[in-house]
């Protein structure tokens, strides 16, 4: 019985699993923040491309918002 208790006390596999879990959570959090920032940049880039294409066709471009897509009136 004492051998089992010593084995339980010295076993660190649970602590290692918790550490890996914390590392995975941190990596996921950093990924979400990075992808959110990159997503806004990509959204703005596509909106600018749409504006240039519309103006190249002698149209008037209405910019995109978070609720509506951009539109081009020719």
* 12, pLDDT greater than 80: no
Predicted pLDDT of residue 11? 72
Predicted pLDDT of residue 4? 73
Q: Which two three-digit tokens encode residue 63?
A: 């910019």
CA distances to 13, 15, 23 from 19, in Å: 10, 6, 6
Predicted pLDDT of residue 40? 84
Give the tens place of pLDDT for each residue, 34-47.
998 898 889 889 99
């Amino acid at each position: 019985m004492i051998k089992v208790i010593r084995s339980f006390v010295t076993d660190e596999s649970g602590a290692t699993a918790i550490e890996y879990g914390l590392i995975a959570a941190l990596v996921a959090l950093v990924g979400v923040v990075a992808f959110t920032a990159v997503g806004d940049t990509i959204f703005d880039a596509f909106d600018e491309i749409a504006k240039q294409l519309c103006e190249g066709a002698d149209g008037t471009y209405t910019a995109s918002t978070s609720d509506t897509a951009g539109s081009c009136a020719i």
